[in-house]
Structure 1
Amino acid sequence: MSRETSEWLNQNVLVGYTDQRGTAWHYRRSAQGVEPNHYPGPIPVEDVKRRLFGWQPVSIPMGGNLQELLGADNPAWKTYTDHQLIIRSDTLDLLGKFKDGFTIHHYDEWLLTKVANLLDTDLHIGSAGLLKNGAVAWVSIEMTETITAAGVRFRPHLLAATSVDGSLSSTYKPVVQLVVCDNTMDIALGEGGAAVKIKHSRHSKFKVAEVRDALGIVHQAADEFSAEVERLTRIEVPDRVWSAFLDEYTPVPAQKGRARTIAENTRTELERLWNHDQRVAPWQGTAFGVHQATNTYLHHYATIRNVGRAERNMDNVLSTKLGEVETATQRALDKALNRASDRALIRL
């Protein structure tokens, strides 16, 4: 399921607005310790600071005296005397190592304070969490009410994320989560959605006005997604078009082997989602259902290697991966629709 254990996800990921969207996929009450990680409404900012950001990433410069700076030492760190080290202040775990030039973007400042300044309002936090032992963090800021368009219930939010291991620039991106599942979808299908990324360098700056203009913020995202949902749910995808879509999206090689097995397994899973899964089946027979099928497959069933599913899904959202999948989905669907149209003309 995830490289992060169930205990980690249940104690280091906070989930809000469960009265409107239910529990997260990783929910397990017995793994949450003394304090539940699910909230019926928004997550209080102070809880995020206390439960997730109550420690600091500490920079140990090249050649720095670990004993003096941290009051502790670790023989393993001595192998990195020519690196800047990023140490977790509470556990003293090594989170990152760099030659030079890396600047820490502290979580409470870059994911809470700067976002509050960006939105110029109180923060309504829908989720927040740590991955990779705290080397990656995110906060999502949501509208208080769920929106419905063409029978699709969704929650637009601004996702802010950063890292202290160099794996992720500080990233700000409006995305949409469907209430029926943990899937997110890019606002502009096929374009990857708007995003602002700020590198961890000495000269990179967070300029509120520029970031606000680039993102268009959450309300605009809600309008754009509503229009896209209306359009996609009006496009009919009967069984023959769905079969043609599968041929375009996941062609099965003629020669037996691993590639053929993977393609057959992918098609089987997509068929199951299309016909039976509550995250997809309500929109069976529409273009929106097709996108939901490939998106759900990517988030929950696609093979992953060397990374946890939670981390992989976060990377998909913040990178261009979702946009690439949705572009491929739309391209294959357009071809399937054109094929069906051509056949209809031939019959006439």
Structure 2
Amino acid sequence: MSAAIDELAPGTHAAIFARQDAWHRLGTTVTDAFTAQDALEKGHLGGWDVRKLPLTATEITEDGVTTVDVPDQFATVRTNPVTGTVEPLGVVGKSYRPIQNEAQIDLLDAIVDESGAHFETAGSIRGGKQTFVSMKMPRDILIGGKDAVNLYLIASTSHDGTAALRFVTAPVRVVCANTLMEAHRSATSTFSIRHTSGAAGRVQEARDALGMTFRYAEELETEANRMVDATITAGWFDQYIRDLYRVKPTDKFDDLGKGTRIALAQLRSLWENSLTLDGVRDTRWGAYNVFTEWVDHYSQIRIAGDKDAARAQRAVAHKGTVSLKRRAFDLALV
């Protein structure tokens, strides 16, 4: 399972995490929240000098070597901050303007003091083509008056021309390529910046993103609390998990595949017996949490060795798993 974290040199990865190691254990983990300068230095995101170089094509034949200029096309490159090597990132047009990692991090740094947020993760993926920086917001989403859900403001951009500088808000701790993808997919609001601007503009853009984050928090909290208030029956739960696995009403249990039969039986048992559901068991929020608990701790894993560790990795890094969790949330909505 690949995290796609950028390896700048053997054993040196462009990533930094606050307090908690990422599942892939790559990059640098610090014991407390880190600063913008830490992201640039310890996370190896500074000094890239992303720039455009004129693009040429070379043809080698029996008659010799021919070099042809490619009009209005450029290669984006960076200077590897560890080795000093110039490395290609992508191909862009003449209107493309690189946004340096320093600018991306400065945008979030502008709201650290006024929001109470702190840097949580930062890194580079896919050989430097994309970067991400996330901040943990000071206010958790409170479900049912007691169940706290962390919320993050995430800034990401590309250096290969495939994406703008984008802010999203999501309850996802971004640590790799797939968790970044899930944060983008699950976010209900986004804010993009397609060009650089002056200092005053950057601060205002960051504040706009902060406002977006708090609006998102309120919306998600409202949705989840509606799920807490919506009571369910055993029959509703059985239909819910059958819908998750796209089991048709006419399908008999004994005719289902072995894996599906095991999953449905385990989910029903967990709904009836899990102590973590006390107080919300007979609600749609409880049904959703049954599924996430099963995925994270009980679902089948077909590998030798530490199955718990492999299951934990799959829960955050496998595209199918994170998509299924989102589907479980959507199906539980009132």
CA distance in 1, matches of 2:136, 2:328: 23
The CA deviation at 1:79 is 8.7
Give the 3 Å change call, closer, same or farther, for CA 11–80 of structure 1 in structure 2.
farther
Query: Is structure 2 residue 281 aligned with structure 1 residue 288?
Result: no
Query: Is structure 2 residue 79 aligned with structure 1 residue 89?
Result: yes
RMSD between superposed Cα atoms in Å: 4.9
CA distance in 1, matches of 2:204, 2:324: 27
CA distance in 1, matches of 2:100, 2:267: 40
1:115-162 deviations in Å (ceiling 9; x for gaps)? 233566476101111111121111112235756543322222211111
1:68-98 deviations in Å (ceiling 9; x for gaps)? xxxxxxxxxx798553111121232211112
Q: Work out whether residues 34 and 120 of structure 2, in 8 Å CA contact, stay in contact via their aligned partners in 1.
A: yes
Query: Larger helix proportion, structure 1 or 2?
Result: 1
Code of the residue aligned with 1:42 in structure 2: it is: A
Code of the residue aligned with 2:124 in structure 1: it is: L
**What stretches of structure 1 of length at least 5 have no aligned partner?**
65-77, 302-307, 335-348
Query: In the alignment, what sits opposite 1:341?
Result: none
Query: In the alignment, what sits opposite 2:133?
Result: 139
CA distance in 2, matches of 1:4, 1:142: 22
Query: In the alignment, what sits opposite 1:113?
Result: 106
TM-score by length of 2: 0.62
Query: In the alignment, what sits opposite 1:55?
Result: 47
**What stretches of structure 2 of length at least 5 have no aligned partner?**
57-66, 300-312
**Correspondent of 2:31 among 37, 40, 54:** 40
Give the 3 Å change call, closer, same or farther, for CA 46–224 of structure 1 in structure 2.
same
Query: Is structure 2 residue 160 aligned with structure 1 residue 158?
Result: no
CA distance in 1, matches of 2:293, 2:87: 35
Query: In the alignment, what sits opposite 1:75?
Result: none
Aligned residue-pair number:
281
1:5-50 deviations in Å (ceiling 9; x for gaps)? 798899433221x3xxx543223xxx65xxxx22332122221011
Query: Larger strand proportion, structure 1 or 2?
Result: 2
1:160-218 deviations in Å (ceiling 9; x for gaps)? 1111022332111222248xxx989x99xx9942211233699xx96654664476244
Give the 3 Å change call, closer, same or farther, for CA 286–234 of structure 1 in structure 2.
same
Give the 3 Å change call, closer, same or farther, for CA 86–6 of structure 1 in structure 2.
closer
SS of 1:93's partner is: strand
TM-score by length of 1: 0.60
SS of 2:32's partner is: coil
Code of the residue aligned with 1:25 in structure 2: it is: W
SS of 2:30's partner is: coil
Q: How does 1:223-262 map to 2 (within 5 A)?
A: 223-252=218-247
Code of the residue aligned with 2:22 in structure 1: it is: A
Give the 3 Å change call, closer, same or farther, for CA 134–15 of structure 1 in structure 2.
same
